[in-house]
Amino acid sequence: MEKLIIRAVTERDFTQTAIFLEQQTNKNIPRAIWEKLFIKWWIKNPFNPSKEINAHVIECEGEIKGFHCYFKSMTKMDGSYLNTYNASSWYVDKSIRNHSFRVIKAFFSESGPGILINTTPSVEVQKIYESFKFKISKSNSSDFYSIMPINFEFFLEHIFAKKLSTFKVVLKILNPIIKIFSFLYFVYIRFISKSPIETNVINNFDDFKKIYNVSYIKNLNWIFNQDLDPYHTSRRIIEFKKNSKLIGHAIFNIYKNNDMECSYLVDLNIIDKKLTNDCLKAIIRYQILLNISYFRFISNRKIENFNFPIPAFTIGKPSFLCKHTDKLIEIPDNFRLTSIDGDQVHFVF
């Protein structure tokens, strides 16, 4: 058996590691993007001033065979600062897959005070994390994913064409009726989503200095700096305004699923809660302008949101797992996580 070495990643390893990850993702995420993500996570991370590289590899005779990483961030809550360690990519070559646990030990053994987070585990990975006493925070326990059809014709094609090959024939027969129904649905959701709120596309959060604190803006500008993170090129950041006054923002990722464009709400903050309903209507109106198949978002059974007479379907629960490493300090009850881009984490409070 070839000798395997588990060691920390250095900046000199970036190129070789990026090549390994490009291969592991079947070139869907090219080497150049991985290299830029490394720079973002560790070299130009405002919450990592020491430029510490929080990653480990499995090395076999000088060749990288496994990789796991996380990156640091920080949030202020209830008057104190919490250090967080956000788990990101975990890849191990199939030839040594039975050694996968060895490369994540460093992450699980981080000593506090700090919070370890993983917002996008697969079903299999979630079970592994739960065995290390990761759990869903109280504020996220009632979360669930919902989808809302926007272009009903696209939505029907999307839902049925993948599951039933015979549906394509049925779709052609019913096409005139579907087009009429889709048009009526379009008119209906346009009418019901009328809102006095203005929405404008923005590139950063510098205009929010009067309503967001410095750390909050620093965090958002870092996460959504497209020069640092070229992976999500179809992102939309919109600001909400009423009578030219800033009242909040929303962030969407536009992605393709079965060749249909869809939208996912990854972040939402409304300052004036009395305007929440109007802002939510403005979000729906914006989805109509995008002409997408459906709009995906996270709901909470304890919070009334997107409470409109528009069909929305529950499609599962998000797995926002966390673990506090300092036994003397409990995770605050209002500690709430939302997933941003699969890797980043944002705190809603």
Q: Measured between alpha carbons, how far is 173 from 175 in angstroms, rounded to an integer?
A: 6
Q: How far apart are the first and last CA of the chain?
A: 51
Q: Measured between alpha carbons, how far is 112 from 115 in angstroms, rounded to an integer?
A: 8
The pLDDT, as a whole number, for residue 349 is 35
Q: Measured between alpha carbons, how far is 292 from 155 in angstroms, rounded to an integer?
A: 9
Which residues of the chain fall short of a pLDDT of 50?
Answer: 341-349
The pLDDT, as a whole number, for residue 196 is 96
Q: Catalogue all structural domains in the chain, each as residue range(s) with its CATH number.
A: 4-137 (3.40.630.30), 144-318 (3.40.630)
List beta partners, residue 147.
296, 313
pLDDT digits (tens, 9 = 90+) for 111-159: 655 788 888 788 888 898 898 888 888 888 888 888 999 998 888 877 7
How is residue 74 written in tokens? 């920080």
The pLDDT, as a whole number, for residue 6 is 92
Amino acid at 122: S
CA dihedral 211, 224, 308, 289 (to 10 degrees): 110
Residues 275/284, Cβ–Cβ less than 8 Å: no
The pLDDT, as a whole number, for residue 132 is 85
The pLDDT, as a whole number, for residue 341 is 45
The pLDDT, as a whole number, for residue 348 is 42
